[in-house]
Chain A
Amino acid sequence: MKTAAPSAAHAARQGFFGALAPGGRRAFFALAVSAVCFVFAFPVLWLVLTSLRPASGVYYVHRGAEFTVENFGEVLRSGVVARAFVNSFAISTLATLLSLGVTVTSGYMLSRFKGPLADGWFGLIYLFRCVPYVSWVLPLYYVTQAWGVFDSYTGLLLPHIAVHICFFSWLMKGFFDGIDPSMEAAALVDGCTRWGAFVRIALPAATPGLAALAILSWLFTWNEFLFALILTSHNTPILTVVMAQFVHELGMEWHLMSATAVMALGPALIVTVFGQRYVLAGLRI
């Protein structure tokens, strides 16, 4: 089924392209690319445009030309958004640092040691990666309450680290697999300890991979919703949850909602733009 449709489309395109002059063909290509880009970028552009419209003009974004940044001011003055912004930022940064610290040794172990223990650890990680979040975050609600960490940084940080362990150990193993272990062996011969060989030789060599993972981890935590929804309440508002509440509670205030969403998009955009280079370099395993 999958092969039939594109082949028909291809035959049609062949005839269509054949009928075009080379210049027309290039114009057609440019037009198609622009159309695709438009479809991909339009929702974000429209969101930004909505966030810049005054409350009176928000229902007719396509008409009128008044623009204002007052929506951002109003959202920030309401307090909860500003607090959620700070919380989300702190949680994302802390979760990134801590999960990298924990997974770097775990990935190194998976890469350098063989045997039933390493195999068992790898199998466990694959298994836990498959379990749907909702199946263990529901009980986690009771666990964090019983331990007194519900609605606190700790109670949200540690589950995030648990999520990252599975996927990142896997990726990290790939980074260390790509580093020649003979360097470490040489260091050992020269009198370095096993730990010293790891810290001085393997770790610096894995830095590009670590940078890529740091960016992915930060974005993932910043954008995450379900954990924050279940594990936090009024004390620790998280940006994604605050936005989702807007939709359900004040469903009509689109200008404020868009302003909040654009603010949430900002840091992710900055991280991606500056980090793109590291992600592309680091993920080339």
Chain B
Amino acid sequence: MLLLVAPAALVLVFFQVVPILMGANASFRDWALHDPKKTWVGLKHYAYVLSDANFLGLVLPNTFLLMVLSVSVSLVLGMALAHLLNRGFRGLRVVQTVLLLPLMVAPVIAAIMIRWLFNDQFGIISVVLQALGGDTPAWLAERWPSFFIIVGTDVWLWSPWFTLILLAGLKSLPREPFEAAAIDGAGAWRIFRYVTLPLLQPVMVVCVVIRSIDAFRTFDIVWTISGGGPARSTEVFSIYAYTEAFQYLNFGRGSAAGVIGALIILGVGMAFYRVLNRLLRVSR
């Protein structure tokens, strides 16, 4: 029995537990490429990160805003598309393939496409806007346009994932409650609100939990679309830790940021887990 998990446990210990412990250790030390003495400095880096105006005023709000906006919009969109695909119409297979297309696109590729579409001189979106007589804002040179482009890209990438799982959920629901509601004369909206939603709730919550934890650590698309800019205004947690460690070459501070982020998301994850457990118990 131990033998069965031994290989997995070994890889996990060497490539996840050891680095996490080492990161925790590094976060208490002055550790940089130009200063490899690794002097113990206690909580200095934590104090720095937790009092850094950038971290508190930009990075954390950006991270949570991205997480909340991306997850909620993808959930609503995914639900709508799952209902669409559940209807059955001619050309369903083609539509389904197109809607699931973003699942196979690497986030980096998606980010490159979006940068090209929104290029302020030659991007097709700017060209169309100009042809319509509007002016072309320098999208990626301002905070909120960049931020919403990032959110939009994340929604494009991940709503198919919601669609896929919610569609599987819809297809596995029992028929009887829907028939009963239809006999009682409920309209489409009431059936959705009082039959579909409660029945789908466990699936939705699992989706939201997994996706939120992943959205918190978004790195690829922000890095490629805006690089955290202009002037660090769209930085999210992962970019902050990476930048501190590899661009300012302050490994101790980057690790402290990493530990703080991990603690925050573990707290959020625990809260989600509790909600999940309660919901599953109620629905049983």
A residues contacting B by CB (< 8 A) are 2-3, 6-7, 10, 29, 33, 36-37, 40-41, 43-44, 46-47, 50, 58-62, 101-103, 105-106, 108-109, 113, 117, 121, 124, 126-140, 142-143, 158-159, 161-162, 165-166, 169, 219, 222-223, 225-226, 230, 240, 243-244, 246-248, 254, 257-258, 261, 264-265, 268-269, 271-272, 283-284
Contacts and interface: CB of A to CB of B under 8 A. Distances in A.
A130 B266 contact: yes
A284 B11 contact: no
B40 to A, nearest CB: 17
Closest 4 CB pairs of A and B: A223-B106, A135-B258, A139-B23, A132-B217
Contacts of B255: 138-139
11 contacts: A29-B89, A47-B109, A50-B116, A105-B7, A131-B16, A135-B262, A139-B19, A142-B22, A161-B11, A219-B103, A284-B168
A108 B4 contact: yes
Nearest to A136: B19
B61 interface: no
B110 interface: yes
B207 interface: no
Interface string B1-25: 1111101110110111011101100
Given A117-B2, A225-B220, 5 more contacts: A37-B99, A61-B124, A62-B127, A131-B266, A162-B16
Nearest to B1: A113
Interface residues of B, number: 80
Main secondary structure on chain B at its contact with chain A?
Answer: helix
Q: Chain A: interface secondary structure?
A: helix
B154 to A, nearest CB: 13
A158 B8 contact: no
B202 interface: no
Nearest to B193: A3
